Amino acid sequence: MKPAKTYKIILWMAILPLIMLPASCERMEDIIVEGFNCADCYQAKPTYVRLSVFVTINSENPYVPLTVYVGDFEDNVIDRVDTSYSKSFWLDVKPDRYYSVKAEYKDGSKTVFAIDGDEVRLKENTTDCDAACYYQKGGYIDVRLK
């Protein structure tokens, strides 16, 4: 065998795996179909979903006490009491419910409350991904100071 032909064979053997890599079975990145990210979808129906809460952290409020309610704040059904030490806070909650959050801030000698709520729903997607799966809709609460 000529050295030039051997060189070409070795070169093709090195390049061929690089060409075939994008066609392999495992995905290198998330698949997004018309705004739907299949990586955010779970095949097994989750028992809990994420409730995201956004708060204001500043020099006067290095932490923010939070009260989480199931339903409207006015119904006073407390799910839990917690404290956020960062601007973004999340907790696991049961899906298909409305949640309200009350944040407590200091403003000099006064106490200021911020209240917001959102419904967290679990939806099923049967068309966009390889298999039917569940995803979260909603669950974003903004109790930042304005």
Cβ atoms within 10 A of the Cβ of 125, count? 16
pTM: 0.72
Number of domains in the chain: 1
**Has residue 97 been placed in a domain?**
yes
d(CA 58, CA 65): 14
**Has residue 104 been placed in a domain?**
yes
**Has residue 129 been placed in a domain?**
yes
Domain of 87?
35-142
Measure the CA dihedral 124/50/26/19, to 10°: 110
**Has residue 17 been placed in a domain?**
no
The tens-digit pLDDT sequence of the chain (146 residues) is 566 667 677 766 666 565 554 544 443 444 444 567 888 888 899 999 999 999 999 999 999 999 999 999 999 999 999 999 999 999 999 999 999 999 999 999 999 999 999 999 999 988 888 889 999 999 999 999 98
**Has residue 58 been placed in a domain?**
yes
Look at residue 40 and give its three-state secondary structure: helix
**Has residue 81 been placed in a domain?**
yes
| Res 20: pLDDT | 55
**Has residue 13 been placed in a domain?**
no
d(CA 105, CA 39): 36
Contact of 39 with 128, CB cutoff 8 Å: no
- Torsion angles phi and psi, residue 55, rounded to 5: -125, 170
What is the per-residue pLDDT across 65-91, written as a single tens digit (0 to 9) for each?
999 999 999 999 999 999 999 999 999
CATH of the domain at 134: 2.60.40
**Has residue 9 been placed in a domain?**
no
State the burial class of residue 55 (Cβ atoms within 10 Å of its Cβ: 0-12, 13-18, 19+): buried
